[in-house]
Amino acid sequence: MDEAKAGSEQGYRVQSGNNMPIQAPLIPDPFVPYHCPHNANLMVVCRTDKAVLEKYLAPTPFEAIDDRYVVYASDFSRCDKTPFMDTGIIVPVRWGKRTGGYFLFEYENNDSAIAAGRDLWGYPKKYAEILFEESEAAVRSRTVRKGETIMELRCNLTRPAEFEPVVTTPHLNIHIQPGPDGRILNKRIIERDTSPDFALESECKAMAEVSLRGLSSDPLHELQPQEVLGASFVVGHFHATEENGWGRTVVEL
């Protein structure tokens, strides 16, 4: 039985109607828990002038704690709730006594995943076409937005690399809800960390290459690294559980 026929026979099952349209929500409701076996992640550690990172953090409550940052690509194509690919740039930051990872840019190829991340937790997700390929010797990813390639990652798994890890968790997001009058309805910092439930299968540190190109709305070229220290290619079972899959409001801004 196909999905459409099953839906018509069973009727719509809306548990809380927390997103639109309430009779057929864009975001699977509830979105958590969800799981993704063989979740492959390429995390490229880069270095730039810290002033570049500070410029992007200036409108936020966060401060840069490193001159390094991460350009990444993740394969969530086996996700049970909504399959998607995910790429972006994460900067290690401090807010008060907390440290974590702040997403400067993020891209996905599924509108349900984009809406879930933006509406529920404040991830700055935008739509892009994303390629992710892995083999025994290499991993590569390409992100295309509005017909232009804005991010390319390549990792040679046969060339080992050594580098210190970069702070990327917990995620510290600025969640903004616009009001119907064009003003900000409310704004908060949300903390989210699914890493305790990630079941690691394999990890490899290797040499990598990064190419970032900008659009007027997505100036990634300003974050083209001065140095690429290497990449961590991590594969495992991703779990967004009831305990850690949801976000938590830290403070209202």
Asked if residue 92 lies in contact with residue 48, where contact means CB atoms within 8 angstroms, the answer is no
CA distances from 15 to 25, 37, 62, 112 (A): 10, 26, 36, 17
Backbone angles phi, psi at 61, to 5 degrees: -80, 0
Catalytic residue among 55, 81, 125, 126: 125
Instruction: Tokens for 213, please give them.
Output: 């190109």
Same domain membership, residue 145 and residue 45: yes
Length of the chain: 253
18-53: per-residue pLDDT in tens? 888 888 889 998 999 999 999 999 999 999 999 999
For the chain, the straight-line distance linking the first and the last C-alpha, in angstroms and rounded, comes to: 48
Identify the CA nearest to 169 among candidates 69, 102, 230. 102
Model confidence at 7: pLDDT above 90: no
Catalytic residue flag (residue 125): yes
Identify the CA nearest to 201 among candidates 237, 239, 164. 237
Instruction: State the pLDDT confidence band at 17, using cuts at 50, 70 and 90.
Output: confident
Question: What's the number of domains the chain is made of?
Answer: 2
- Residue 222: give the domain boundaries: 35-252
Instruction: State the pLDDT confidence band at 2, using cuts at 50, 70 and 90.
Output: low
Same domain membership, residue 202 and residue 144: yes
Same domain membership, residue 43 and residue 20: no
Strand partners, 90: 70, 103
Within 10 angstroms of residue 79's Cβ, the number of other Cβ atoms is 19
Strand partners, 35: 239
Same domain membership, residue 152 and residue 96: yes
**Beta strand ranges found along the chain (DSSP E):** 34-47, 63-64, 68-76, 84-95, 98-108, 125-127, 129-134, 138-145, 148-160, 171-178, 184-192, 199-212, 227-240, 248-252
pTM of the model: 0.93
Q: What is the pLDDT of residue 24?
A: 84
Same domain membership, residue 75 and residue 14: no
Same domain membership, residue 187 and residue 75: yes
Kindly calculate the radius of gyration of the chain based on its CA atoms and give it in whole angstroms.
Answer: 19
Instruction: Tokens for 201, please give them.
Output: 């299968």
